[in-house]
Amino acid sequence: MIDDTETIRREMLAEQRAAGAQARADLEARYGQVWDTAEMTTEFRVHAFMAPVVIVTRLSDGRKGSLEFQHQPRFYYGWASD
């Protein structure tokens, strides 16, 4: 199976590693709203993980999109939708 997103996802992960773990406040300053796992799962339904991206549906309006995430500490950010 060919994954057309693999190269970009590997680049994103490399950038995350180079930057190191980001504090929530730093992520909020750069991306706006940030969610921890509990917060994210109350606002979104998760469909798929393809690190460092998760495909979700926003429960408030049924809009499908994606969030980026970092592993430790686990924060989700950068909501993007069609």
Give me the residues of the chain with pLDDT under 50, please: none
Q: With contact defined as beta carbons under 8 Å apart, do 52 and 12 qualify?
A: yes
Residue 30 lies in a domain: yes
First to last CA, the chain: 25
Q: With contact defined as beta carbons under 8 Å apart, do 47 and 57 qualify?
A: yes
Residue 70 lies in a domain: yes
Residue 19 lies in a domain: yes
DSSP assignment, residue 32?
S
pLDDT single digits (tens) 54-70: 999 999 999 999 999 99
Q: Please give the single-letter amino acid code of residue 4.
A: D
pLDDT of residue 8: 84
Range of the domain at 49: 6-81
pTM (two decimals): 0.87
Domains in the chain: how many in total?
A: 1
pLDDT of residue 16: 81
Residue 1 lies in a domain: no
